Amino acid sequence: MSRLSLRQLKWISILIPAVAVGVFEQIRHAYLAEYLHGTIGTLLTMAVDLVGIFIFFQAIFRVLEKMQSSMVRRNRELSLINSMVVGAEQSLELDQVLDLGLSAALSALDGQEGAGWVYEERTRELDLRCHRGIPAGGLQDVVQLSRDPSFLAALAGGDGPHIVELQEQGYSPGMARSPLVFPLRAKGKLLGVIAILDAGVDAAALNRDLLASIAGHLSLAVDNAKLFQETLKRQHQAQALYALGIEVSMLLDLDRVLTSVVEKAQELLSLDLVAIGLWEDQAQEIVTRTSLGFRTDPVRQTRLARWQDLNRRVLSTGHPVQEVYHEEGEESDSIVRVEGDISHLVVPLKVGKKVIGVLHGAYRRHHTSPQDDIELFASLANQAAIAVESTSLYAQVQNVAVLEERDRLAREMHDSLAQVLGFLSMKAAAAQDLLASKHLTLARLELRQIEKAAEEAYVDVREAILGLRTSIVLGGGLSRTLKEYLHKFSSQSGIKAELVTSSDNNPELPPATEVQLIRIIQEALTNVRKHAQAHRVWVRMESGEKQAQIQIEDDGQGFELPLVLQREGHYGLHSMKERAESVGGGLAIDTDLGRGTRVIINLPISQAGPQATRREGRHETATDSASGRPRPF
């Protein structure tokens, strides 16, 4: 009767009384007329009709009460599900979603005690995230429940909400031995579980449709929350890798970069131990460079048997290695004796196909890393390998730069100091011969020439020392460095030197470019002092969108550029040109007799590539003084 609709009940309440009265009247007239006549008969008939109507409407009202009770219960169930769904939609926090589901389940069953776990697929363990109504002394039972084999077996085998009979002993007397569990599944995977822990749950009285609906909606909400958390985790990992990549590209301190790598690895993968070791040719083994999380001396521990065995396996295969070691049965020469049960993940640091080191990560528990974690760990190892290779390449570049600078100094010394010393030697011999021949006047002339040449050599040496000591001032930049150098140049040479630049349009050049620019300017000013017979010199700097132009202009006597370039032994102009081209720029000279000299340097602000920029530099030109046409240099 409780499944009747109101429409059906309406017709029943109309038809059944009418049919019942008609049947009764027919029976009365046919069989009971002689007994039910007169006043008494009429009264008895009325009494029978009233009793029948009373009984009938009692049954009708009973049906209506059941229908009303069912509607109220259904509305309550829908309200519970709606509250849970709305709450889950408003929050993607996994713990909050699980707590909402637990509240809905307790409300549906009028329960007081319950708990919710998330299933960690990596460790295959339940992680307690929320509980309600559990006394302080009962939390240990809840923790024990998540490890109970019968409880875990029930989760693996059951799909819908069902009662589990616990087999394991050791629970406190107040612990329910037949909890109702809600396995939360999505896409065939176990996500978590809700357990109602009130004692004496009546299995026959359970509304399984309602419980299945709660479990289904909650499973979807938990799945969405886990996906959201996984997305946030991947985003955080990507940001961390990007930041680490920027740090690797900017830092030349290898130890700082390696320390950043192990810190990021520990943060992103929640590792207990992390270490990076690099291959050393001299020792013929991998030596630990930096580490985190060790209980004792990491250098000593990483030389023990288990650690070295993992290193050899990675070196031989070039692939990641996972291994779990247990303290029981380990020899004394083992890291496991110090750190306890330990799960290792080791990935190689590779440059091409060559393994140059290893990145170790370890947990002090049984742990199997999923493929996503292995790939993330390998990405961190790649960053470390890039840092090692960059540092090595930078050291090689530094060595090449030192050799190039030595070669430049050798050529400049040959062009200036060596020739002066040769001249002094020749003049000294001549003066000695003149003194021996008693030609004192001629000897004095030779000695004056020696004195003058020595003074010029002294000035050259002082200027060279000043140039070598000049470098970019941290915090002051190129302009400040040039101003200080020009001031010292003016003091030593007597030539007024001035820096002309726009304060709001200073060129921003890479550090290597700035160093080469300073050396070019120093060489140009040396030529002004030696050859130009100038009174003033200007260094002008202008900056465009893609390149900066620097000009060194003097008011001296100028020179014939083709004749100077044809002479042997003059390395200064060629050195300036080579320096400009080495940083992707170009150099041109605009000069002629009687009108001074202008050295023009064009440097790229953002270099697209060394080959392209060097080709551009070779085509820089200077204006011909007579025709106004560009003259290549």
Angle formed at CA 422 by CA 418 and CA 425, multiple of 5 degrees:
140
Which of the pair, 249 or 282, is modelled with greater confidence? 282
Q: Examine the pLDDT at 624 and tell me if it is beyond 50.
A: no
Using the 3D structure, point to which of 51, 86, 121 is the last residue of a domain.
86
The highest-confidence range among 392-396, 522-526, 607-611, by mean pLDDT, is 522-526
Sheet strand arrangement including 189-196: 125-132, 114-120, 189-196, 180-186, 162-163
pLDDT at 578: 84
Q: Range with the lowest mean pLDDT among 134-138, 237-241, 250-254?
A: 250-254
142, 131 Cβ separation under 8 angstroms:
yes
In a domain, 497, yes or no: yes
Q: Which CATH number goes with the domain that contains 204?
A: 3.30.450.40
Quote the pLDDT of residue 598.
93
**Is 490 domain-assigned?**
yes
Same domain, 499 and 591: yes
More reliable by pLDDT, 234 or 262: 262
Q: With cut-offs at 50, 70 and 90, classify the pLDDT of residue 459.
A: low
pLDDT of residue 627: 41
109 to each of 70, 102, 156, 183, 446, how far by Cα in Å?
Answer: 15, 11, 24, 16, 119
Reported as a single tens digit per residue, the pLDDT across 533-568 is: 999 999 998 887 788 899 999 999 998 888 887 765
| Residue 122 phi, psi (nearest 5) | -65, -45
What pLDDT is attached to residue 90? Answer: 65
Which structure tokens are listed for 563? 């004749």
Residue 439 lies in a domain: no
Average pLDDT estimate for 371-394: 84
Last residue of a domain, one of 197, 230, 263: 230
Question: What pLDDT is attached to residue 587?
Answer: 93
- Mean local confidence (pLDDT), 366-385: 86
Q: Is 285 left (phi over 0), alpha (psi -120 to 50) or beta?
A: beta
Tell me the per-residue pLDDT of 151-174, one tens digit each, with 9 for 90 and over.
Answer: 888 787 667 788 888 877 777 777
Nearest to 355 by CA among 382, 375, 379: 382
Is residue 180 located within the same domain as residue 307? no
In the prediction, which pLDDT does 550 show? Answer: 92
Transcribe 478-524 into DSSP letters.
HHHHHHHHHHHHHHHH--EEEEEE-TT------HHHHHHHHHHHHHH
**Do 139 and 184 fall within a single domain?**
yes
Any domain includes 49: yes
Residues 190, 281 within the same domain: no
Q: What is the mean pLDDT of residues 93-103?
A: 83
pLDDT of residue 132: 87
Write b or e for each residue in 230-260: b if 16 or more Cβ atoms lie within 10 A of its Cβ, otherwise e.
eeeeeeebeebbeebeebbeeeeebeebbbb
More confident of the two residues 252 and 148: 148
Task: Say if 122 falls within a structural domain.
Answer: yes
Q: How many folded domains does the chain comprise?
A: 4
Domain enclosing residue 189, as ranges? 92-230
Find the mean pLDDT for residues 205-227: 78
220 and 332 together in one domain: no
- Residue 576: predicted pLDDT: 85
Winning range, highest mean pLDDT, from 284-293, 404-413, 561-570, 617-626: 284-293
In this structure, which amino acid lies at residue 132? R
Residues 320 and 335 reside in one and the same domain: yes
Same domain, 249 and 201: no
Q: Given this model, what pLDDT does residue 170 score?
A: 73
Flag the least confident range among 226-230, 331-335, 448-452.
331-335
Instruction: Note the pLDDT of residue 332.
Output: 61
Task: State the pLDDT at residue 233.
Answer: 77
Q: Which residue has the higher pLDDT, 88 or 65?
A: 65
Mean pLDDT of all residues belonging to the chain: 78
Residues 125 and 80 occupy one common structural domain: no
Out of 203, 230, 257, a domain closes at 230
Within-domain flag for 438: no
Per-residue pLDDT, 477: 67
The predicted pLDDT at position 48 comes to 80
Say if residue 495 is in the same domain as residue 629.
yes
Residue 445 lies in a domain: no
pLDDT of residue 497: 93
254 lies in the same domain as 344: yes
Q: State what percent of residues in the chain have pLDDT above 70.
A: 79
Average pLDDT over residues 350-354: 86
Distance between CA atoms of 161 and 219, rounded to whole angstroms?
A: 12
How high is the pLDDT of residue 463?
A: 62
The pLDDT of residue 178 is 81
Task: Say whether both 81 and 98 belong to one domain.
Answer: no
Reported as a single tens digit per residue, the pLDDT across 288-332 is 889 999 888 888 888 888 888 898 999 889 999 998 887 766 666
Res. 345 pLDDT band, cuts 50 70 90: very high
CATH of the domain at 532: 3.30.565.10
Residue 628 binned pLDDT confidence (cut-offs 50, 70, 90): very low
Average pLDDT of the residues in 509-530? 84
Q: Are residues 143 and 189 in the same domain?
A: yes
Res. 475 pLDDT band, cuts 50 70 90: very low
